[in-house]
């Protein structure tokens, strides 16, 4: 399979997927999300693969959903295209998925990392939900998974006031499993994935499912509410202004309409 926006490799029993849009800081456009979902499902179906590592590059895991792709969309466009629905395919992967995160891990990129089963971060990783700067909110599970992972206080600051979180802070809050020097984080993630991939496959599968059930039960209602609000915000002038201002590299002027 040849891809244009991701790369894949196999390391022993680990499938490695790298998001490959470095010029756009690995922003998650439709092609990335489609190729990513397909690659995850292909590795998941391969009996020689026992775990998957998902990564970006040293500068960015992913700086969010592609703002330029959705800036002009109306709420009706967003509901009809239901862009976030593809993320449900990632939730259904059965083998453990480890995010190896360096640099910017923002918005949809942070939501993607939190949707994985574990996170290995480099010391340079920066986690954040900056959607408020664009006049919208997280739309791919951020308000739900972040709140469960770090608690209400920090989640409020991150979602309402663009407060970023460093790798060490993320480790203290239990959002990430390990922090490694930037030259080692990927190797570290692949090593952890290979250790897991060597273990009893069915027990791993049921263990992952059981822990995610503990973490994610009742999550579906919250995710659906969040997704509706995210789409609804595309009917506001503030969303148009916020995303246009990002493209024009200027501060947004908010009107509250």
What 3-state class would DSSP assign to 37? helix
Cβ-based nearer residue to ligand CAA, 52 or 134: 134
At closest approach, how far in Å is the CB of 241 from ligand CAA?
Answer: 14
Which candidate in 50, 103, 108, 242 is catalytic? 108
Q: With respect to ligand CAA, which residue has the nearer C-beta, 140 or 170?
A: 140
Closest CA to 110 of 76, 181, 74, 159: 159
Residue ranges in contact with ligand CAA by CB under 6 A: 24-25, 27, 63-68, 104, 106-108, 111, 130-131, 133-134, 138-140, 142
To the query of whether residue 108 is one of the catalytic residues in this protein, the response is yes
The verdict on whether 111 is a catalytic residue reads: yes
Roughly what angle, to the nearest 10 degrees, separates helices 142-150 and 152-161? 140
**Of 65 and 192, which has the nearer Cβ to ligand CAA?**
65
- Residue 25 Cβ vs ligand CAA, minimum distance, rounded to whole Å: 4
252 carries an active-site annotation: no
- The residue among 115, 105, 164, 165 whose CA lies nearest residue 141 is 115
Whole-number Å distance between alpha carbons of 108 and 83: 12
Minimum separation from the CB atom of position 93 to ligand CAA (A)? 19
217: which DSSP letter?
A: T
In the complex with ligand CAA, the residue whose CB is nearer, 65 or 98, is 65
Indicate if 131 belongs to the active site.
yes
Distances in whole angstroms, Cα of residue 174 to Cα of each of 69, 101, 207, 209: 33, 15, 19, 19
What is the nearest approach in angstroms of ligand CAA to the Cβ of residue 240?
14
Taking CA atoms, 118 is separated from 18, 85, 95, 189, in Å, by: 16, 22, 12, 9
- Residues marked as catalytic: 65, 108, 111, 131
């Amino acid at each position: 399979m040849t891809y244009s926006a991701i790369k894949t490799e196999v390391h022993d029993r680990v499938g490695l997927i790298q998001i490959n849009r470095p010029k756009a800081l690995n922003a998650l456009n439709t092609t990335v999300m489609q190729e990513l979902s397909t690659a995850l499902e292909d590795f998941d179906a391969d009996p020689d693969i026992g775990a998957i590592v998902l990564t970006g590059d040293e500068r960015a895991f992913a700086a969010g959903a592609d703002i330029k792709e959705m800036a002009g969309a109306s709420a009706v466009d967003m509901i009809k295209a239901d862009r976030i629905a593809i993320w449900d395919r990632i939730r259904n992967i059965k083998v453990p998925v480890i995010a190896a995160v360096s640099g910017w891990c923002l918005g949809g990129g942070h939501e993607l990392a939190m949707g994985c089963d574990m996170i290995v971060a480099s010391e340079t990783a920066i986690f954040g939900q900056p959607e408020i700067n664009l006049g919208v909110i997280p739309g791919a599970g951020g308000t739900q998974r972040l709140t469960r992972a770090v608690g209400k206080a920090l989640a409020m600051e991150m979602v309402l006031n663009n407060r970023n979180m460093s790798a060490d802070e993320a480790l203290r809050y239990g959002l990430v499993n390990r922090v490694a020097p930037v030259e080692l984080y990927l190797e570290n993630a692949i090593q952890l994935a290979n250790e897991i991939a060597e273990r009893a496959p069915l027990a791993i599968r049921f263990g992952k499912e059981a822990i995610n059930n503990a973490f994610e039960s009742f999550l579906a209602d919250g995710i659906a509410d969040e997704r509706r609000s995210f789409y609804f915000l595309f009917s506001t002038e503030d969303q148009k202004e916020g995303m246009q201002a990002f493209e024009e590299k200027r501060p947004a002027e908010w009107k509250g309409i």
